[in-house]
A and B are shown apart, each in its own frame.
Chain A
Amino acid sequence: MKNLKLFLPLIFLLVMSVFLFRGLFIDPTELPSALLEKPVPQFNLPTLEQPEQTVDQSIFSGQPTLLNVWATWCFACREEHPYLVELAEQGVRIVGLNYKDAGPKARQWLERLGNPYQLNIADVDGKLGFDLGVYGAPETFLINSEGRIVKKIVGIVNDKVWNEQLRDLYYGTGESTQSQGEGQ
């Protein structure tokens, strides 16, 4: 019994080390989404492609969708963009949320760099973004065919992120067990 007491500080140190080591790989600026399993917030906004018409949350029912938050002022979005084009070519359904941006600029950007989006919601004052808990760009939400948010990615979606965190959920094949803080 005495020997166990001698080892307690060591055991405590080892336990702390496990947590601290894990902490090295967690990005503190990534917040877990408060909206997981909740339906996409209601909205009624015009699109970049057809500004005279509006769309609402029903565009997310029926099939799984990646909702990608982007803007022309977002440097990392440019980096992410080619990969989104790749995904779209593979048949992944991507809807864009053009966040706090200018319509003409955004349309020009897409013309120049390619358009992976089925449509782009024009969220000029960021109201929908606010309801989604967006605090920067790029961010990507995976929405299932019932229109519920099942995953949020803060930061760039690249091959690694897609394969480790999104792909299985998108196609409904097995479960993605990675938590949001890891694997970036």
Chain B
Amino acid sequence: MRLLFMILVLFSSAALAMVELEPLSSPELQQRYQVLIEELRCPKCQNQNLADSNSPISADMRNEIRLQLEQGNSDRQIKDFLVERYGNFVLYKPPVDTNTVLLWIAPLLLLLIAGFVVFRISRAQSVANGPVDWSEQEEQAVNQLLARENAAKDPAEEGRAR
């Protein structure tokens, strides 16, 4: 009984699959159709393309695409037709114009800024930790100062340690 149930559940997903209409009149058109419905977004759904969406508006749009393909319109013409009515939202790749240029550049820009910040931080760290260039004279002067300090410190420390 449980096996039967599991089998039924397994096949229930088929109920969601779209009934595929007759193929278009040529394999090239069919191919273009397939590409278009995967490239175009359903306006009503959140992030489903026309191929995956069950909504009536997607069905309308698919029909329109089929019609226009059979009429001989180009992909560009079909997309323009749909964008004219539903806006750039239906394209997964919005065109690059004054409104969308920020959308396109922002990721790259942020990456560059992040890279720059990392660069500056790592440089600051290496400057703090790395060897300092100074001349022989300065080296000697420092060594002398250190030696004098150590000599002054030691007797005082020995006194405290006891």
Contacts and interface: CB of A to CB of B under 8 A. Distances in A.
B85 A31 contact: no
A91 interface: no
A132 B56 CA distance: 15
Contacts of A134: 57
Contacts, number: 36
The secondary structure that dominates the A interface is loop
Interface residues of B, number: 15
Interface in A99-129: 100, 126
A135 B87 contact: no
Nearest to B83: A34
Given A34-B84, A130-B60, A28 B89 contact: no
B46 A135 contact: no
A33 interface: yes
Interface of B: 43-44, 46, 55-57, 60, 64, 83-89
Given A29-B46, A131-B85, A133-B85, 16 more contacts: A31-B43, A31-B87, A33-B87, A34-B85, A34-B87, A34-B88, A100-B56, A130-B60, A130-B64, A130-B85, A132-B85, A134-B57, A135-B55, A135-B57, A136-B44, A136-B57
